[in-house]
Amino acid sequence: MQEVSKDYDLEMFFEISEDFLCIAGYDGYFKRVNPAFLKALGYSKKEIFSKPIDKFIFPEDRTRTNTQREGLIKNTSLFHFENRYVTKNKNIIWLSWTSIPLAKDKLVYAIAKDITFKKQMEEERYHLLSNLHKRNKDLKQLSYRTSHDLRSPVNNIMALIDLMDISKIEDEDTLELISLLKLSTEGLKINLNEFVDDISQNDHGLLISLEELNITKCLETVRKSINYLIDCSNTTFKINFLDVNTVKFNKTYLESIFLNLITNSIKYTKPNHSPAIAITTKKIGNDIQIIFTDQGLGFDMDKDKKKIFGLNEKFHHHADSKGVGLYLIYNYITSLRGEIEVESKINEGATFIITIPN
């Protein structure tokens, strides 16, 4: 390898470098700085050499910087040390230093990079995460309070049903309605209790519980809870769980997924048509797929594909539409490392393919 000539102008590296280069003395004064450093701070050479280095450092960083400087004087090199400098215009810039002491000359040779933009991004990220944490905490408290407070009226409804003397009721349709009302209320109470338990566990840092679930049983629990809605809408089901009928998942999540998909299919069925729902399962390698298909209004995938699982997104005119169900489904699945895809055409229904790692 050819050695660089000693006559080569190495001074140009100092003059043209975009990084900040400087030489400082053990006495705490700059001895030399490059043009990039002067430009960043906004001082002249006369100004930069006439004051101790401490005068240019942000006050809160001076003690920390002096501690590191003492190490340099003891012949300990410094790498990736970050501190703040104040420019002549009173702006604050962040610098990351690499400093090498030369004890025999009592000098420190240093290179600094301007990391102000990086620090601003980190600060913005910190504030965003802090705000997100607060919003999540507030939302969790609201959910806890709402679900907890709802248990009282639900218990009251159950008590009123129990007080009814059904022996005096002879009409079979009325008896069936009372039975359905009691069943739905009991289901609501169970769901509320499970929801409150899940929130309470998460407050203590516990993970969402997973268990081996019978898919058929979870689906039947949901169908019973909305049996009246299914009957009134003449909804038909085609179920095929022969390939696989168990999955390791959260019970509350799976039942909520079925509940939201079924009620959406009923809500957004085509005019003058009865809802028809097909649910099948497949084993794909180590993963399990639940495939849910309806014959409803469908989606305009060219227009709405990226918005389908967004919060408060609505795609059809319906008085009861809140734009929350699909958002919840997406978060239930992805929070447990699963995936969900949609295939759909307008007025040709929709197919939701849920992939759950097992």
**Nearest in space to 231 (alpha carbons), one of 191, 171, 278, 180:** 180
Q: Is the pTM of this model over 0.75?
A: no
Q: In 10 A of CB 26, how many CB atoms? A: 15
pLDDT tens by residue, 256-268? 899 889 988 998 8
Quickly state the pLDDT bin for 4 (edges 50, 70, 90).
very low
Beta strands in 307-349 (DSSP E): 339-344
Q: Are 293 and 240 in contact (CB under 8 A)?
A: no
Of all residues in the chain, what percent carry a pLDDT higher than 70? 84
Q: Which pair of tokens denotes residue 3? A: 């050695």
Q: Which pair of tokens denotes residue 94? A: 């962040």
Q: Are 246 and 212 in contact (CB under 8 A)?
A: yes
Q: Are 298 and 347 in contact (CB under 8 A)?
A: yes
pLDDT at 140: 66
Burial degree of 163 (CB within 10 A; 0-12, 13-18, 19+): exposed
**Nearest in space to 111 (alpha carbons), one of 84, 147, 78, 134:** 78
Whole-number average pLDDT of the chain: 84
**Nearest in space to 76 (alpha carbons), one of 42, 108, 44, 119:** 108
pLDDT tens by residue, 23-49? 999 999 999 999 999 999 999 999 999
Tell me how far CA of residue 29 lies from CA of 107, 156, 191, 241, 255, in angstroms: 10, 79, 70, 78, 70
1 has a pLDDT exceeding 70 = no
Average pLDDT over residues 123-132: 82
- Token pair 């703040």 is at which residue? 84
pLDDT at 111: 94
pLDDT at 126: 83
Average pLDDT over residues 52-78: 93
Average pLDDT over residues 276-292: 95
Quickly state the pLDDT bin for 8 (edges 50, 70, 90).
low
pLDDT at 51: 94
Rounded to whole angstroms, the Cα distance separating 182 from 333 reads 31
Residues comprising the chain, all counted: 358
Sheet with 107-114, strands from edge to edge, namely: 30-33, 20-25, 107-114, 92-102, 78-86
Radius of gyration of the chain from Cα atoms? 34
Which tops the pLDDT comparison, 208 or 271? 271
Rounded to whole angstroms, the Cα distance separating 17 from 3 reads 22
302 has a pLDDT exceeding 90 = no
